[in-house]
Amino acid sequence: MSRTAESGFGFGLTSGVITTLGLLVGTAASTGSASLVAGSIITIALADSMSDAFGMHVSAESTNASEKNTWIATFTTFGAKLATTLTFLIPVLILPLTAAVWASVLWGCLLLATMSSFIAKQRGVSPVEPVIEHVGLALLVVFLSHNLGGKIADLVIR
């Protein structure tokens, strides 16, 4: 995989995990509805994947990347983000919502830890610090999204 493709893949995977976990946990906390969570995941899978791909495209153009590398980064970002986001549908469709949320958090942390370890190995450094940092930031997003979802439910929905 080229450096451009790796960059798009890493960005797409990370954004897919963080964005989807935030949306999933917040929507579950505010609505308690698995169907709303599933619909939100499908919507964000397409809309945010296109948004991130477009952002990566403009970013690559602004660095004077070749046209080929610009399109590689664009499509790699889109594919990685879309595929990653859609994997979070599986637990929501097959498990009760509370179990699906926990399974999704675990799945997201596993994806981030694996990617962080891979990047650390490529850089020749210990994976411990990047794994703790990246998983910790994901858990912070989960915590904040859950609390925000609860506040939204208290203020707006219920």
| pLDDT the model gives residue 64 | 85
| pLDDT the model gives residue 110 | 97
Query: How many CB atoms within 10 Å of residue 39?
Result: 13
| pLDDT the model gives residue 158 | 55
| pLDDT the model gives residue 157 | 64
**pLDDT tens, per residue, the chain with 158 residues:** 667 667 778 888 999 999 999 999 999 999 999 999 999 999 999 999 999 999 999 988 998 888 998 999 899 999 999 999 999 999 999 999 999 999 999 999 999 999 999 999 989 999 999 999 999 999 999 999 999 999 998 888 65
| pLDDT the model gives residue 1 | 65
**Angstrom distance (rounded) from CA 96 to CA 153:** 20
Which residues in 77-87 are b (16+ Cβ under 10 Å) and which e?
bbbbbbebbbb
The residue range of the domain holding 87 is 3-157
Q: How many structural domains are present in the chain?
A: 1
The pTM assigned to this predicted structure is 0.91
